[in-house]
A and B are shown apart, each in its own frame.
Chain A
Amino acid sequence: MNPSTRITPLQFLVLTISITFGTSILTLPRKLAKIAGENMWMPVLLGAFVIYFSFRISLQLAALFPNYTSVAYHRLLLGNFGGTLLNIYLLTLMVLVTALFLRLFVTAIKIYLLDLTPLIVVTSLLTLPVIYAAQYGLIPVLRLVQFIILPAYSLFLALILLGFLSVKTTNYQPVLAEGIKPVLLGIPSTWMSYSGIELLIGFLYSSITRPKALVKFGLAAIVIIAGLYLLISLITLGILGAKNTMHILVPTIMAYRSVEIPDTFVERLDGYLMVIWIAICFDAQIGWIYFSSAIIKQMFDVEYVRPIVALLIPIIIYLVMLPPNIQAIDKLSSLVNLAGIVWGLIILPLLLILALWKRKRNDEC
């Protein structure tokens, strides 16, 4: 990270929200409806607590190395070889998350907006501008994310709240009919929807202007994201019901397609939601691609990130095109979700224990 690149906690908050809240809004209700049925909104809430736990561990670990990024302190903790392996794991995870989100996004775009356009064209259109965005490093990327987030999220929130007009309260019943078990089983499925903050913090901690404020801002980011997911889950469930939600490929869009606001200019919301969602998704993708490239930049000690972005994007496009159908995407999604959980709930705590042990040993010496 360039020492002159300083990020304020506010920018960290914005970056976290934009990276995390990308594509999952489309698929999360379907996954959760399959597991938790009418109580699908509960795992959303509980998932937020789990990610907060992972965020705190990541934050504590990063605080032990205030002048290093995660790429550097992995090497310090595990040695050059072990650190590099861990960095490759992290990089692979991030690239796969990017590709997976992107695939879900372009699939939805193809179904609902551009049914005749080849998938590769839709994907390339969204990814290629990232090369231009990464031209001058992180700060312009941050500016872009900040510039988009306010209008895009305001409109998005206004649109999703309109969904309450078509909600049927009977769809929320019965509550906990099958006990708490399905709710608890649904929590792991929310991981990918919340993933982002625990990956970012290690990488950005050394650049934050007021690291002490990160707990507050990180919590605020998780609360905002959880609030948005909760709203979407509740509305989708309320409009479609659990049975319909679990059988529709992109239930959120379908739910909003059935929202009708008669005697107004906006008759159907799904089109507007999709359009705003393009900006939100681009905001998320730019973050994922940029940080994946920044990890490579640090691993290989390259001066500029832009050529790496230019090289990474064709690989991402290739990965996006790789799954032949939605079943393959679901399988890959489960795998990536598991890899993310392993990172957040196993590797990070182990690294923290190792770092604390090493520090204690050094103090004793």
Chain B
Amino acid sequence: MNKKIKPWSQAHSAKTFATLRNLQSTIHHAKDIEQDIRILARQLKEQTVTTQIYQLDKNIETNLRHLQKVFSDGDDVIIRRLLVSPARQKAALIYIEDMADQAVINNHIIAKLTCSCFGVDNNRNSDNLAGSITNILTAGSLTETMEIQQAVQRVLLGDTLLLLDGVPTLYIIATRNVKLRSVSPPDTEPTVTGPRDSFIEDLRTNITLVRRRVNNPNLVIKKSVVGQRSHTEIAVTYLKGVVNYKYVCEVERRLNNLQIDMPENLAIQNLIADHPHSPFPTTQQTERPDRFVSALLKGRVGIIIDGMPFAVLVPTVLSDLFKATDDYQEKWMTATAIRLLRYIVAFFALSIPAMYIAITAFHPAMIPTPLALAIGISREGVPFPSFLEALIMISFLEIMHEAGIRLPRTVGQAVSIVGGLVIGDATVRAGLVSSPLVIITSFTAIATFSIPDYRLALAIRLLRMPLMAAAASFGMYGLMIALLIIFIHLSNLESFGEPYLAPLIPQSLLRLDDLKDTYIVAPTSVRTVRPTYLEPEDLTRQDPTK
């Protein structure tokens, strides 16, 4: 018996194992297929719905079904059905829960529609109701539309949509109530004596801040939408009669050409810039409404972006990035001195570590003998060449700078103390760097912070390293050649057709007026014309005869 069973069982057990393995594999495979099918089914079910495929219908249920699909059955999208008194006609409200003002909806829409105290004709038909709806509702603004896309867009911004049965029209009621932070002092462009308000993340508030300063009907604010998926609202702003329309057209052309889901972090300024591969900013960001308005009055174009506490100004030339609000608040002589100081300091922020390397490694004769000796003595025992020594210190500085931005404010102070101790004292005591280099590094850091435009300061920080490498390779000659290459780059740059160095290098003697607000800050009475390089429609800023 055993003899017969053994071979059978052996053969069958092997077969069984093989079958089981196959079965197991099939089950796994089936599970994978099931998963794939589920994903596919989900994708089919939740495929993107565009508003274009739906048409408005007389039947409210059809319209609601379509809108539900458009809003992807989102939980925050509220659909409130109601019967309009006294005809008990079907109606529905659609709004987004936290973006619409619930009080307005309750008191000015629902209460009015369901109230029978208006003496409305019981026999009225849907056309009668549609005709009198503007009188029934007491909300501030009511817009009729036949386009689903427009209506959906408004709902997404916080407005409420009213649908009536038998009426192929959508009523958009202004109920926007987005929670926003209040207008606060600017963080990145502080001022001593200037205004204390700054842009916030809301487009409408920002427009108000601008309009409050320019009580002029010629202030044009053209709204449009960018981002094929985000539908980010932006406003192109300019002053009619001042701006040269070539800039407005160019801005609009560039914005219309944007084929992007959503501007990454709403950074429109990078998307419309002339030279995306240049470290230098060819657009200007500002969080100050006063600076924004001042630029509009000079003939520049502004772009305000919903969700961004910064507005963008174009065209931007290098000298714009050296201007600060305080320049115009102070006496012209002090303002001029400070402006000139900024240019000099920016140059030193860029080149002083490289100069240190060139002088210590190649040309010690360029500095007075006692100073050269002092540097030589302090470098004694430092194991690194001056380039490496400077590279270590500048890298420390950059790390601290970056950490200072990223860390919470409470921890930031600790980093400053540690950084100060490490850079200031411990590295010198350890013999890793010389003490003159600590002074050079500190000066570089302070010089960088005194540049008014953050993005220009970033460019200078970036270019410091190649300059140091050039100085380490060829001394002052290498440094000068590297600086000249940067100057070539600046000469090649343009912003919306304007040379980046525009007013700094006047094209002709007729354009010398532009210099009154570049290297210097001339008295207001002398600055009678707008910048000529912007070719404004009205060149005169003030009549000098009056």
Contact = CB atoms under 8 A, between A and B. Distances in A.
Contacts of A143: 491, 499, 501, 505
Interface string B485-509: 1011111100000010100111111
A282 B509 CA distance: 25
Contacts of B481: 125-126, 129, 278, 282
B507 A10 contact: yes
Contacts of A271: 363, 365-366, 476
A264, A272, A274, A278: residue with the most chain B Cβ atoms closer than 10 Å? A278
B363 A132 contact: no
Contact of B366 (A209, A264, A268, A279): A268
Contacts of B533: none
A209 B365 CA distance: 47
Given A132-B488, A144-B488, A271-B363, A10 B508 contact: yes
Contacts of A132: 485, 488-489, 492
Nearest to B499: A143
Contacts of B365: 268, 271
B477 interface: yes
Contact of B362 (A113, A126, A264): A113
Given A122-B477, A147-B505, A267-B369, A113 B491 contact: no
Interface residues of A, number: 37
B485 to A, nearest CB: 5
Chain B contact residues (Cβ within 8 angstroms of A): what range?
Answer: 20 to 34
Interface string A253-294: 000000000001111100110110011001000000000000
A206 to B, nearest CB: 18
B491 A133 contact: yes
A10 B509 CA distance: 7
Contacts of B37: none
Given A129-B488, A133-B488, A133-B491, A146 B505 contact: yes
Contacts of B368: 264-267
Interface string B353-389: 0000000001101111101000000000000000000
B484 interface: yes
A271 to B, nearest CB: 4
A275 B367 CA distance: 13
Interface of B: 362-363, 365-369, 371, 474-478, 480-481, 483-485, 487-492, 499, 501, 504-509
B480 A144 contact: no
Contact of B491 (A126, A147, A278): A147
Contacts of A272: 366
Given A114-B477, A144-B491, A209-B508, 12 more contacts: A10-B508, A11-B508, A125-B481, A132-B485, A132-B492, A133-B488, A136-B492, A139-B499, A140-B499, A144-B487, A275-B366, A278-B484
Interface in A112-157: 113-114, 117, 122, 125-126, 129, 132-133, 135-136, 139-141, 143-144, 146-148
Contact of B490 (A125, A139, A147, A278): A147
Contacts of B477: 109, 113-114, 122, 125, 278
B5 to A, nearest CB: 90
A139, A144, A268: residue with the most chain B Cβ atoms closer than 10 Å? A144
A279 B489 CA distance: 15
The 9 A-B pairs with the shortest beta carbon distances in the complex, nearest first, are A8-B508, A271-B366, A146-B505, A144-B491, A143-B491, A278-B480, A133-B488, A140-B491, A267-B368
Nearest to B485: A129
A252 to B, nearest CB: 17
A9 interface: yes
Given A10-B506, A146-B505, A271-B363, A114 B474 contact: yes
A147 B504 contact: yes
B491 A141 contact: yes
Nearest to A122: B477
Contacts of B501: 143, 146-147
Report whether over half of chain B's contact residues are helix, strand or loop; otherwise say mixed: helix
A114 B470 CA distance: 13
6 contacts: A132-B488, A140-B491, A144-B488, A147-B487, A147-B504, A275-B366
A15 to B, nearest CB: 12
Contacts of A126: 481
A148 B481 CA distance: 12
Contacts of A265: 367-368, 371
B489 to A, nearest CB: 8
B274 to A, nearest CB: 12
A156 to B, nearest CB: 13
B526 to A, nearest CB: 21
Contacts of A144: 487-488, 491
Contact of A275 (B476, B487, B490): B476
Contacts of A268: 365-366
B504 A125 contact: no
Contacts of B483: 279
A209 B511 CA distance: 14
B484 A282 contact: yes
B321 to A, nearest CB: 16
Interface string A5-45: 00011110000000000000000000000000000000000
B142 to A, nearest CB: 53
Nearest to B506: A10
Contacts of A136: 492
Contacts of B507: 8, 10-11
Contacts of B508: 8-11, 209
A183 B505 CA distance: 39
Contacts of A9: 508
Contacts of A122: 477
A254 B132 CA distance: 97
Given A10-B507, A113-B363, A275-B480, A140 B492 contact: yes
